[in-house]
Amino acid sequence: MFKHMDKRLVVGADIGGSHITAALVDLETGAVMEDTLQKQAVNAAAAAAVILERWASAIGRVISAAATPIPAIGIAMPGPFDYPNGISLIRGVAKYEALYGTNIRTALKQALDFPGSIYFENDASCFALGEAWAGEGAGCSRMVAVTLGTGLGGSFLLDNRILLQGAGVPPEGYIYHLPYRSGIAEDYISSRWLMNEYRARTGLPVADVKTISELAEKEDAVARQLFHEMGMALGEVLSPWLRDFQAQCLVIGGNIRKAHPFFLPALQQLLLAKGVRASVHISSRGERSALAGAAWICRTAAGYQ
């Protein structure tokens, strides 16, 4: 593997429910060094030692691609998680249960024999930071980012800073749990809703959202109607917050973003009807933005300005 000589590099890592992705990231530009990218499958139901070994293996391979010592590692981590202290609080969500109460920072530093700093931040927030730094939101002062996938992630940024409160910002900056119809927003804007509704309306099970998207491409009426309804729902949930926050741009990520031809028109129609003027962008970087955002956490930490 080519050894990167640039001293302004850190490791950015993104931990998902079934994998870890990591790479060296340029601290000056947010660019991901593609030849250092490591992606490994992880069994989220495994024992703590097995999970940590997989994470350490991927990160260790990335560290070895740098010719000079790496000062820091930034990790985009799903919650619930004690981000400042590096302790997993994930429980009751059928993933990484074995890590509950574990100090992940300490465990990884020991496994990697790493003397530098390790920082953690919410995965949706890292995606937003990466997009604001080097993606679709670059140059946008008031930005909202959402991730559409298994769940519904959201972040509100002002000048590349995550906001957890303030005018136009929902409690803790989250949108997944906002009241909507007979439940919460995530009940109607997620892969789970799409798959359940397709089966309920047709009697046919589908393996994933990609299958529904492929059906929509073939002009399957139910598939197209579901994406239309999801786009409208997303607009209804977001519009009051985008308006009150005076958002200049909305960036959409997550795996469902790939089906944007089928939900974006409905979303834009709803936002326009509600008087929301924010421009809407579909992320082209995807997971790379989460890696860049994790690196941004390192960049803004003391000593890495």
Q: What is the pLDDT of residues 272-282, one digit of tens each?
A: 999 999 999 99
Q: Is residue 299 part of a domain?
A: no
Amino acid at 173: G
* Same domain, yes or no: 230 and 152: yes
Residues 145-184: pLDDT tens digits? 999 988 899 999 999 999 999 999 999 888 999 999 999 9
**For position 236, which CATH number holds?**
3.30.420.40
> Residue 1 has what pLDDT?
46
> Residue 4 has what pLDDT?
63
> Residue 79 has what pLDDT?
85
The tokens for 274 are 């509600």
* Same domain, yes or no: 187 and 65: no
- 70, 131, 170: which is closest to 289 by C-alpha? 131
CA atoms within 13 Å, Cβ hemisphere of 242: 27
> Residue 94 has what pLDDT?
77
Residues of the chain with pLDDT under 70: 1-7, 302-305
Q: Is residue 225 part of a domain?
A: yes
Q: Of 100, 126, 152, which marks where a domain is finished?
A: 126
> Residue 7 has what pLDDT?
59
Q: Of 97, 126, 155, which marks where a domain is finished?
A: 126
The tokens for 249 are 């741009």
In the block, which residue shows the tokens 């300005």? 305
* Same domain, yes or no: 56 and 166: no
> Residue 16 has what pLDDT?
87
